Amino acid sequence: MVLDARSLKHRYQPKWSRSNARELIVKAVLDVLLPDGFEARLTGLGAGEDGYIDRTYKGLLEAFDITIYYKNRPAAFVDVTGVPSPRDAKPKLGYCVGSWKIHKAKRHGVDIATWIAFVIDSEPTILWKHIKAFEKWGIRPERLYGDEREVLCLPRSKWKHYSDFERWLRLYAPSYANYIQALLEMDKEMEKLHSRGKDPASPDPF
């Protein structure tokens, strides 16, 4: 069964408080550790907030929990997830991420610039992994139980530390800022076309 974004929001509503706490923890850690010139902002729809927002995200910045800015320009994205304790790792699979997070990054054309921050609440620990790693090495469970959604998993040994994330930021994020800026400009143009009642996929007859 395919669920749209609003259905997913309703399904996971009981877990929002924990999810929002994780987002705030990751943001606080980034505020302390990010190198000069970089800034973390909670930009995702509802990120860090408990209240229900009865709409889906609009545009690139609302799609991801945290946007990393470089010299005041969006340069990378972080989606936050996690588990209550290490015991919640799936046997032989490790820690899992909803496959829709990977699909979302690909759909927006920013899978090259998106990371997962995985919070283990009881330790507390934050593990890091570039989202493209799940396409390459992610393991799909052979069976899903109950209302479980499709996930991609990696053993804990495959996850990275903050230092790896920061090294990647220093190397790549400044150049990605130009690319992401172009995507945002495209978003604005598409929104203008929608507001005028035009189908952006249709050629202008004039």
Q: Which domains does the chain have, with CATH numbers?
A: 18-47+59-195 (3.40.1350.50)
Asked whether residue 87 carries a pLDDT value surpassing 70, the answer given is yes
* 2 membership: H or E segment, kind and range: none
Residue 92 has a pLDDT of 84
Answer yes or no: is pLDDT of 118 > 60.
Answer: yes
When pLDDT is averaged across residues 122-143 and rounded to a whole number, the result is 91
Q: Which helix (H) or strand (E) holds 10?
A: helix 5-11
DSSP 3-state assignment of 110?
coil
Which whole number is the average pLDDT over 154-180?
95
Angle between helix 162-195 and helix 16-33 axes, rounded to 10 deg: 110
The answer on pLDDT for 173 being more than 60 is: yes
pLDDT score of 1 more than 50: no
Among 82, 100, 99, smallest CA distance to 152 is for 99
Residue 164 DSSP code: H
Mean pLDDT of 8-33: 75
Based on the number of CB atoms within 10 Å of its own CB, is 61 exposed (0-12), middle (13-18) or buried (19 or more)? Answer: middle
Residue 186: what pLDDT? 85
Is pLDDT of 66 > 90? Answer: yes
pLDDT of residue 19: 84
Q: Name the pTM for this structure.
A: 0.81
Q: What is the mean pLDDT of residues 83-100?
A: 90
Instruction: Look up residue 62 and give its DSSP letter.
Output: H
Report d(CA 45, CA 64) in Å as an integer. Answer: 8
Mean pLDDT of the chain: 82
Reference 19, options 119, 105, 88, 155; nearest CA is: 119
**Residue 205: band (very low, low, confident or very high) from pLDDT cuts 50, 70, 90:** very low
Task: Read off the amino acid at residue 19.
Answer: S
